[in-house]
Structure 1
């Protein structure tokens, strides 16, 4: 992921279920995820066990290190691309280092212009989100003219409301963009059944795009066990959790 300053960081990036709860749950989910990822990538049982032990040990040692740091030091602690490359050079062989370099190169290429090139097309001289049913279906293909214009206005109102939730400098930037198209998008496995939309906005011209995602957020699956969120709006729960936990 990228920081607001567009620095490449290594961090968690899925906050749909974020909710305060026992720290042990996070460690167990981390370990389980590594087992599943290792199995999917052909690692042996012994290799997977070693990976899990190393990750849990790293978690324990990091928590001990953070306990001795000042609050601001903990707040700004992060793992950037160069740190990841250094660790790879120290602990991996040539093939592993090359894999890390390829992954970092791919991550650097994934920006708004790359997404724009895949998702947008020119239709009758105007930029639109390209149809890729059933994964991506533009609003134009979903409903007739009158209903479409009504929904389009609702999205403009929603984007304006989102702008007002931002700090002033980012709000000023967003207000320089104009909404031009909306499309429904099929979500990932963990969010099946929820609504998700891609919103295409343009700045000074057709080469100045901004793509936003509007996604429905329901209660966290952890709420039944850890208690309800203190946020009445589930979207605010997700965004607040991301801002609190993700490096910047």
Structure 2
């Protein structure tokens, strides 16, 4: 083809894709999320750091693309799975479960919804490829890491379907963990219960309260009053009704939390310090996180489910029940509340919560080890999610439906999705380049 025509084709493709990106960002960030200009700039600045950061902050773009792709491995529309909804490399981490055991697992459920299990796998595998590129891994090593995740998922799901493992009790703890995950859990063994409490609070005249930092600031009087007025609703959701329980949940201090997440920028987040015990120095106090949530991104692209929405009209309840369904041991402080028309969920801010830093992945072997663990945990999460919803959401076992959808040819299943993931990672990098170019143009316009 003539070089001028070739260039014209490329320019047209780029122009059309740039328009798509701009339209989607405007629809979700401006119209749906209603992010003010300053918050949009804050979010876009974070997204502009790397292609992986861009991918983290643009789940709506992923679903816009992925929901239009035909794949032979989807479960039938009438047999959805309770999916995590925003599965990527940094939504796994270590924490201490209700039994006091240090475990590695999925730790974010804000986008939980009903849909094909395959969307979790597709989003996760793209993130693995992008992390591999961020770490300078070869194309072959990226493929190996993605396939390790998919093979681990497939094998573990088949074990659940055959009854060889129980998703209700399956954990990756120090005994079962390997590689960087095991190192992370061992390191956390040395951490004190008061680690996070001492990090974010201080004793002032023998009373413990939040310490002011760049990320933790005092609420306005209106914010404090609004949260305190909403607190009884939260107490109802955790069934705290006798005098002892009410003392346990007595609010000692409130702070506004800034600087967390990428996609969640613009959503309010508070820390609440509760009494919890009788220690005079407040060393047994507990920090709860109160986080604003909205309609999950997948809901705009997945089939509408009336039963789901009739049961979970409150978005905080939806997140809470997603976590309870997907975790073998749920946080006992999980609950929800409303402040005006805004909806929130509440959880304990665990002193043992820690993400595996990408810097800890020194070799291709480290990446393989971690993605294998992530694959098994994703299978556990999907298979586990039907255990607590006998009330009517899922009247079947997810693991059985997923195994049927995957088929008997495991290699074909893994290779097909891996090839797509690497290809879509290329698209993410191209979109990232268009995004940073578009962002630069916005800055120039604002300076005129």
- Specify if TM > 0.5: yes
TM-score relative to the length of structure 2: 0.46
* 1:153 CA displacement: 4.4
Separation in 2, partners of 1:60, 1:169? 45
Is 1:136 the counterpart of 2:208? The answer is no
Of residues 278, 284, 299, the one that matches 1:223 is: 299
* 1:66 CA displacement: 1.1
Is 1:49 the counterpart of 2:139? The answer is no
Equivalent residue for 2:266?
A: 193
Equivalent residue for 1:29?
A: 123
User: Would you say the 8 A contact 1:179–1:201 is kept in 2?
Assistant: yes
Equivalent residue for 1:63?
A: 157
Separation in 1, partners of 2:241, 2:327? 21
* 1:111 CA displacement: 6.2
Separation in 2, partners of 1:164, 1:152? 19
The ranges of structure 1 where at least 4 consecutive aligned residues each deviate by more than 4 angstroms after the TM superposition are 109-112, 167-174
Summarize the Cα distance change of 1:109–1:190 in structure 2 as closer, same or farther, 3 Å threshold: farther
Is 1:20 the counterpart of 2:92? The answer is no
Q: What's the secondary structure of 1:235's corresponding residue?
A: helix
* 1:166 CA displacement: 1.9
Separation in 2, partners of 1:111, 1:215? 25
User: Would you say the 8 A contact 1:136–1:183 is kept in 2?
Assistant: yes
Considering only CA atoms, is the larger Rg found in Structure 1 or Structure 2? 2
Separation in 1, partners of 2:101, 2:190? 13
Query: How is 1:1-248 mapped onto 2 (pairs within 5 angstroms)?
Result: 1-69=95-163, 73-84=166-177, 88=178, 97=179, 99-109=180-190, 113-133=194-214, 135-139=215-219, 143=220, 148=221, 151-166=223-238, 173=245, 175-186=247-258, 187-202=260-275, 203-204=277-278, 205=280, 206-226=282-302, 227=304, 229-230=308-309, 231-248=312-329
User: Would you say the 8 A contact 2:248–2:274 is kept in 1?
Assistant: no
Q: Which runs of 5+ in 1 are unaligned?
A: 89-96
TM-score relative to the length of structure 1: 0.80
User: Would you say the 8 A contact 1:163–1:175 is kept in 2?
Assistant: no
Q: What's the secondary structure of 1:208's corresponding residue?
A: coil
Q: What's the secondary structure of 2:104's corresponding residue?
A: coil
Q: What's the secondary structure of 2:183's corresponding residue?
A: helix
Give the number of aligned pairs.
226
Separation in 2, partners of 1:22, 1:45? 28
User: Would you say the 8 A contact 1:194–1:216 is kept in 2?
Assistant: yes
What is the aligned-residue RMSD (CA, Å)?
Answer: 2.6
Q: Which runs of 5+ in 2 are unaligned?
A: 1-94, 330-448
Separation in 2, partners of 1:37, 1:109? 28
